[in-house]
């Protein structure tokens, strides 16, 4: 469910950006409205802020969990070849 909300908001951000681009390219006509471009960009910024805050909220609620760059790789534990120095040992 969380993934669906994230995908929908990402698609809405892309649509708002495309709408702004379309109205910006159409701005060469004399009948264009520059406020439409500003409104589309404002909607995009609002959706981006909403998505950012929603992701933070989901993280704190425990609904999503971060993972490393390569989550499929198992973490390996490296052992050192150096032995610890025993202070009590006398030669």
pLDDT score of 23 more than 80? yes
Are the C-beta atoms of residues 68 and 19 closer than 8 Å to each other?
no
Sign (positive/negative) of CA torsion 40, 11, 56, 4? positive
pLDDT for res 5: 95
Domain boundaries in the chain?
2-61
Q: Does the pTM exceed 0.75?
A: no
pLDDT tens digits along 29-76 = 666 677 888 999 999 999 999 999 999 999 999 999 887 777 666 656
Please give the average per-residue pLDDT across 11-33, as a whole number. Answer: 85
pLDDT score for 43:
95
């Amino acid at each position: 469910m969380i993934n669906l909300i994230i995908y929908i908001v990402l698609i809405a951000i892309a649509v708002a950006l495309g709408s702004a681009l379309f109205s910006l390219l159409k701005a060469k006509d004399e009948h264009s409205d520059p406020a439409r471009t500003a409104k589309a960009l404002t909607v995009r910024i609002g959706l981006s802020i909403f998505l950012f805050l929603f992701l933070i909220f989901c993280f704190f609620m425990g609904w999503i969990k971060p993972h490393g760059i390569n989550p499929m790789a198992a973490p390996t534990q490296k052992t050192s070849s150096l032995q610890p120095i025993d202070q009590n040992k006398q030669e």
